[in-house]
Amino acid sequence: MTPPALEAYRASARSWLAASAPPPLPQDYRLRTEALREWHSTLYRSGWVGIDWPRELGGQGLSLEHALIFIEESARAGAPQPFGAIGLHVVGPTLLRYGTGEQLARFVEPLLSGKEIWCQGFSEPDAGSDLASLRTRAVLEDDEFVLTGQKIWTSWADDSDWCAVLARTDPDRAQHKGISYLLVDMKTPGVTVRPITQITGDAEFCEVFFEDVRVPRSNLLGPLHGGWELAMHTLGHERSGYALRRRAELEVSYRNLLDAIRLGDSGPDVAVRIGAAYVTLRGLSALSRRAVRRARNGEVPSPLDSVDKLALAKGEQQLFGTALDLLGAHRAAPLTEGTSLDGEQIVKDYLHGRAASVYGGSEQIQLTIVAERLLGLPRMR
Ligand SMILES: Cc1cc2nc3c(=O)[nH]c(=O)nc-3n(C[C@H](O)[C@H](O)[C@H](O)COP(=O)(O)OP(=O)(O)OC[C@H]3O[C@@H](n4cnc5c(N)ncnc54)[C@H](O)[C@@H]3O)c2cc1C
């Protein structure tokens, strides 16, 4: 049973969204980004960002359950999530866990309000799955690191003010013991960002080059050479946290698809596919409840984050694969006619769904983590 206070919170979120949710976002990537930034700032001013972040740092001091209720209601209302997703859900938790008082005072409020957008500079051209082999280097000179190297696939780097960069600070130690976690101002001389256009037509992720970029020592997060632990913390939150937030949107898309199928004649194998998507979404929902308990008990990161991530990728791909096939089969009398389905969005969701088995660590790497760390099999690499 949901406690009455949570129900009241849901009711207030629902009525606020009914009055304030923005119109459908523009298709053009740049215009959409601007609209999303504005939406982020409206959400923050109205108390809907940082719902479970400490009040003294600019959050609302409520629980993760409250934050998830707002996400569910946003999905129901067709309202987007705030723009600064990497800051809020990927880098932010690590900043909260490892930041000094000064770092928290400097970075958290602009991160929550969307005044400063963050990106995550982990992957490199030759270091994705094998992240510990990264070659971007930071040399400490007096009170500054001098940062040189290249990152790739850095989502929203072109729109970001700050980047959480993993850099090698001690080349003589074992690979994962010589890495530090630096907070880099993207406006520093020597930083170059080159957007990469994806199959969706959006240029969401980028290459980022660092050429003798000077980073104050005070922007080191956590211990010098101790960045690997922080990187695993960030990735744990990325893997389980994204599944938690995305589930609500998948369920809304699933219900819209079901309504459209009920209206028309969709062919014989649809029942099997829509049934399979339903089962996967129910599994994701159960995993979400466990993820909430784990987050509350401080059990992130954990190998269980990989299970959540794998279930999310399967849910995305089953759901939007089915939707796309149905869309194709209904060209003459469009599946979307008279329903809440948006054909263009289905194509985008399908393409994004393919990426779900790559970002945050590939499917094969997540399965290997499950085999080795959950099932106790010996290391196979
Ligand atoms: C949409 C999207 C957004 C992203 N955003 C970011 C971001 O913001 N910041 C960031 O740092 N990175 C980001 N990434 C990068 C992502 O983390 C990497 O793509 C991912 O970790 C895989 O690395 P790679 O691309 O170098 O592939 P590789 O590591 O070269 O892997 C290629 C293939 O080989 C397989 N493989 C590799 N090693 C093994 C092994 N030991 N066992 C079995 N199979 C193996 C992989 O599973 C994969 O299928 C993003 C990626 C995508 C798709």
3-state secondary structure of 151: strand
Q: For this structure, is 229 an active site residue? A: no
- CATH code of the domain made up of 229-374: 1.20.140.10
Residues with CB under 6 A from ligand 1: 119-123, 128-129, 153-155, 205, 355, 358-359, 361-362, 364-365, 368, 381
Decide the pairing of beta strands 191-196 and 205-216: antiparallel
Q: Which CATH superfamily is domain 4-83 in?
A: Acyl-CoA dehydrogenase/oxidase, N-terminal domain (1.10.540.10)
Same fold, 118-225 and 229-374: no
Q: Whose Cα sits closest to atom 50 in ligand 1?
A: 359
Distance CA 260, CA 263 (A): 5
Examine the pLDDT at 339 and tell me if it is beyond 90. no
Percent of the chain surpassing pLDDT 70: 95
Residue 330: what pLDDT? 64
Closest residue by Cα to atom 7, ligand 1, is 154
Question: Given CA atoms 279, 281, 284, 289 in this order, what sign does their dihedral have?
Answer: negative
pLDDT in tens, 20-29: 999 889 989 9
Q: Residue 152 phi/psi, 5° resolution? A: -145, 160
Average pLDDT, the chain: 93
pLDDT at 333: 55
Range in 167-171, 202-206, 209-213, 324-328 with the lowest mean pLDDT: 324-328
Closest by CA position to 319, among listed 242, 246, 241, 240? 246
CB 183 within 8 A of CB 219: yes
Q: With 0-12 CB in 10 A as exposed, 13-18 as middle and 19+ as buried, what is 292? A: middle
In this predicted structure, the answer to whether residue 138 has a pLDDT above a threshold of 60 is yes
CA-nearest of 106, 81, 188 to 145 is 188
Selection from 295, 287, 251 nearest residue 52 by Cα? 295
Candidates 238, 249, 251, 316; catalytic one: 238
What is the rounded average pLDDT of the residues 308-319? Answer: 96
Q: Are 50 and 62 in contact (CB under 8 A)?
A: no
Long-range CB pairs of 2-7, under 8 A, 24+ apart, other chains included: 6/65, 6/66, 6/69
Cβ neighbours, 10 Å, residue 279 = 11
Per-domain residue ranges for the chain?
A: 4-83, 118-225, 229-374
Cα(152) to ligand 1 centroid in Å equals 10
Of 86, 89, 123, 381, the residue with max ligand 1 atoms within 8 A of its CB, to mutate for a pocket test, comes to 123
Instruction: With beta carbons less than 8 A apart as the criterion, state whether 238 and 89 touch.
Output: yes
Confidence of residue 87 (pLDDT cuts 50, 70, 90): very high
Residue range 118-225, CATH number: 2.40.110.10
**What band does 334 get if pLDDT is binned at 50, 70 and 90?**
low
pLDDT, one tens digit per residue, over 39-58 is 999 999 999 999 999 999 99
pLDDT-based confidence at residue 343 (cuts at 50, 70, 90):
confident
| pLDDT score recorded for residue 144 | 98
Protein residue with least CA distance to atom 3, ligand 1: 359
Is the pLDDT at 335 greater than 90? The verdict is: no
Per-residue pLDDT for 336 more than 70? no
Pick from 357, 362, 366 the residue to mutate for probing ligand 1's pocket: most ligand atoms within 8 Å of its CB: 362
Tens of pLDDT, residues 185-235: 999 999 999 999 999 889 999 999 999 999 999 999 999 999 999 999 999
* pLDDT (tens digit per residue) in 98-122: 999 999 999 999 999 999 999 999 9
Q: Determine the distance separating the centroid of ligand 1 and the alpha carbon of 2, expressed in angstroms.
A: 39
Give, using CA atoms, the residue closest to atom 32 of ligand 1: 129
Tell whether the model's pLDDT for residue 250 goes beyond 80. yes
In three-state secondary structure terms, 347 is: helix
Please, where are the H alpha helices in 199-296? Answer: 227-263, 270-296
Instruction: State in Å: Cα 126 to ligand 1 middle.
Output: 10
The CB density around residue 65, as the number of other CB atoms within 10 Å, is 16
- Residue 52 contacts residue 66 (beta carbons within 8 Å): yes
Mean predicted confidence (pLDDT) in 288-308: 93
Q: What is the pLDDT of residue 209?
A: 98
Residues 325-345, mean pLDDT to the nearest whole number: 71
